[in-house]
Chain A
């Protein structure tokens, strides 16, 4: 898999889709490819958000840890980006990500990602849009949950 393939994958990710290929190539060329074996942890809840990962192939489980133990809240596969919120907002990881199969990723360092946002206005706009959408999603979920509560 070459950088061009990686850029093609990145362009399939909603948050990065609107960004020109050149800035993405710029980013991909400084990224490291990291392969995780099944069961290996990509990052752990509570860790610093030092990097985001583009999943190139394989699947991973997103796990939330609470007092009642760990629970898988979602499974994610190729053409997705994980860990980006912790990188953008500079907060601790909100969940653990663990490889379920052999997981091939592209590791985007925080510094590099931030530099991309500085270099490309479309990238900044796309990230903003992405975060906004996530917020709307969460608000809708919360509203739905409230409605569910009142019905019971």
Chain B
């Protein structure tokens, strides 16, 4: 509420009243307008164009009026076709048969009214029956049967006639019910089918958006729209035409029946129905307006009260208590008026509704009775009319409800269309579409002339740049983030709007974007890796092309080239399999174990691997591993293992349980003392190795309880939790000085007591499901402390596997690793390598790599780039595939044929450290291009 000088209280009040009045008019007008538009649409759909035109004229007048009131038609723009038009357009073919079925059902519906009349008049009233024993032919009883002479001539007495006619009535009920069933099923199916089509269409719209447009969409919101928002639309689509058609047809049939019985009664029925159809929605309309007003005023009141409370000091110092009181009073009065009006209207509607429902019955009794007495109408007709009238108000009410639903759905449909515009409109909205994206066959030579690009999100620009990339040419771009190199890369793949310039692919005026996925491959800085096995991510999009099998064949080679092989191998070797599920891998691992033990690398490996020995404690392994090397379940660092009766017994017997508990306590206390004061997501707290980060608070509470010094502070569960911490202890890793020879001896004693010396595995033993694949092969613990030990072990394992010919098998295990949603289980470096490998797997003519390896160490970047360039140079039967790299690190630039130094949106320097024609020369040939 705007500030009004407190001097003119009366004026303020008057102003307020006028404002409220004006608001009210506006609200009424706004609603009225929407309703009018809705009626217009409905009429159009019903095929009443003339009425629709009249309505639209009315609408225009209203709009004019609104404009005069200063109310624009903001937010009313339709991004697509209107809902009803869209539904008709999309589902005409499915709607037609249902409408036909409705038409077919009408005669039976009519008969449902008609037959009771004959039952009452014939057998019950006995009209036409001379006596109780007299008979009449069926054809006379029911005129419908008159044409069927064989049936019509059957003579029936009153009881038989009652039975036969009742049976006929029962049959009619069944037929009508069956029609209802068929129509409802068909309409439900139609709704679901259309919902499916709509969802598929919306998804297609998402796919059709250029990436830079699609980026403004929120993933979850889009998913919610496709999944939830359109759900009610599906239900409505089924009803959109079927419902009004059915209801109108039923109402007309009932009205027609009444008219045919008696024009007078028919006229009464029609008048009442029309009155009802006119009054009820009108009254309800006012109710809706009032409801909204009630909400708005209540919200305003709440805001005002809050404001006063917050500024209470000001209210006092300015002596504005009375003013505020008056203001709130007037608001409360307004709310009272609105609420009271709502009650009045609500119950008035109820009253009128009841009246409209009851009074006609009275009129029918009165008027119909008079007509019966006069002999113009018989009793059967009167009863049938009353029954038929009973059927009338229901369709009308439902039609009104349908109309409300339709308006709701129209808003929903518009919202969906605004969020995901149909592609035709999206295209029109694009400001600068200079290059049509078309399927061209060849990308190279690629000529770029006077290109100007601006990346909206970052403000990066590319200015008046010309460039030619020839077949087999390896080009790289260096420069800072805003230098323009990135803009050029994005322009090449059509992910940046060009403000001017031309691109020619092999002399044709098309951008290379049309070649994406085939002749043109792109790798960005953060490649998206889909949920699923790594192998699928690598072959993404290739399955649809012919010859995907040959790509798979090259997979191993490419993996090595981009340095992904070691990652895949590490994933495979670090994982666990079960012998039952992968007997082949388990056999290979045991074979590798034997080969490794006999091989030449064994001596070297002895320095970095401490092998398990049945009689000795392995200092490089955890206490848990030492306790249960032979355990069938290797995950002994688990409270459940400690809970086993025999384990508990042996630990107690060797007095190891207290010792483990005290080790666990030292570990927990160290963690709590050092990292307890840090935020729970602090990097130090997350990487400390004493306590699992997600159980930190539990151990903190435990230590606090212990320090309280109560007699029995720790429960059995607490003790077990501390012991399970101790199971993860390794002296060289935790360095708390907690392991001595006595402990070592006791651990070995417990192990031997639990599993016996015989069962402690030797090299000849089987595969252990509880150990990782690598642990199974080296059968010991890596001395992590020694620099390069992990690499040395990995290399030895790799070589052994390769010698045995089982490297492929193990790699395939790694390729089956689930990347997680969005590749979250992989590091960025791994995802970047996957992106590059994926691009290389395509036989592309031009590879665009935009800071594609930025997260890798400089030396790895260099090695990979050198390898990839060598591979590209051998492509196309020696002609070579071209590439354009935006380098994250300029150190690799000398490997390229051509280096473009970008700065300030332009190419500042264009050098050829390694001319394409003369690859032997390493002298830099400088040439400037402006």
Task: List A residues at the B interface (Cβ < 8 Å).
Answer: 1-4, 6, 22, 25-27, 29-30, 32-37, 40, 42, 44, 46-48, 92, 111-112, 115-116, 119
Contact = CB atoms under 8 A, between A and B. Distances in A.
B736 A2 contact: yes
B732 interface: yes
A54 B655 CA distance: 39
Nearest to B686: A30
Contacts of B689: 29-30
Contact of A37 (B683, B786, B858): B786
A48 B678 CA distance: 28
Contacts of A47: 857-859
B858 A46 contact: yes
> Can you list the 6 inter-chain pairs with the closest CB atoms, starting with the nearest?
A2-B737, A36-B787, A26-B674, A2-B735, A3-B735, A30-B687
B670 A29 contact: yes
A47 B860 CA distance: 10
Contacts of B733: 32
A22 B675 CA distance: 10
A26 B689 CA distance: 11
B785 A34 contact: yes
Contact of A35 (B690, B785, B859): B785
B783 to A, nearest CB: 8
Interface string B498-524: 000000000000000000000000000
Given A29-B690, A47-B859, A112-B687, A35 B786 contact: yes
Given A34-B785, A112-B683, A115-B682, A3 B736 contact: yes
B805 interface: no
7 contacts: A26-B684, A30-B688, A44-B859, A48-B857, A92-B858, A112-B683, A115-B682
A42 B787 CA distance: 8
Contacts of A115: 682-684
B788 interface: yes
Contact of A111 (B683, B784, B786): B683
Contacts of A32: 733, 784-785
A30 B784 contact: no
Given A2-B736, A34-B787, A119 B674 contact: no
Contacts of A35: 785-787
A32 B857 CA distance: 20
A66 to B, nearest CB: 17
Contacts of A48: 857-858
Contacts of B891: 46
Given A2-B735, A29-B688, 11 more contacts: A2-B737, A6-B735, A25-B674, A33-B732, A34-B786, A40-B788, A44-B859, A46-B891, A47-B858, A47-B859, A112-B684
B674 A29 contact: yes
Interface of B: 670, 674-675, 678, 682-684, 687-690, 732-733, 735-737, 784-788, 857-859, 891
A46 B737 CA distance: 37
A3 B673 CA distance: 14
A25 B687 CA distance: 14
Nearest to A31: B735
A3 B687 CA distance: 16
A38 B858 CA distance: 25
Contacts of B857: 47-48
Contacts of A40: 787-788
* B687, B689, B736 interface centre (most CB from chain A within 10 Å): B687
A25 B677 CA distance: 14
Contacts of A27: 684
A1 B735 contact: yes
A29 B732 CA distance: 11
Contacts of B690: 29
B886 to A, nearest CB: 20
Nearest to B891: A46
| Most A-side CB within 10 Å, residue of B690, B733, B787 | B787
Contacts of A25: 674
A48 B858 CA distance: 7
Contacts of A30: 684, 687-689
A41 B442 CA distance: 49
Contacts of B788: 40
A10 to B, nearest CB: 13
A119 B679 CA distance: 11
B787 A26 contact: no
B774 to A, nearest CB: 19
A30 B689 CA distance: 7
Nearest to B687: A30
A96 B688 CA distance: 30
Contacts of B682: 115
A22 B678 contact: no
Among B683, B688, B736, B858: residue with most chain A CB under 10 A: B683
Contacts of A29: 670, 674, 688-690
A37 B732 CA distance: 17
A27 B687 CA distance: 10
A85 B484 CA distance: 32
A119 B674 CA distance: 12
B918 to A, nearest CB: 25
Given A25-B674, A46-B858, A48-B858, A33 B735 contact: yes
A146 B689 CA distance: 52
A32 B782 CA distance: 14
B700 to A, nearest CB: 16
B790 to A, nearest CB: 11
B115 to A, nearest CB: 87
B735 A26 contact: no
A86 to B, nearest CB: 13
Contacts of B736: 2-3
B888 to A, nearest CB: 12
Given A22-B674, A26-B674, A48-B858, A37 B735 contact: no
A29 B669 CA distance: 13
Contacts of A36: 787
A4 B594 CA distance: 42
Contacts of A42: 787
A56 to B, nearest CB: 11
A27 B733 CA distance: 14
B772 to A, nearest CB: 20
Contacts of B859: 44, 46-47
Nearest to B670: A29
Nearest to A41: B787
B71 to A, nearest CB: 56
A26 B675 contact: yes
A29 B690 CA distance: 9
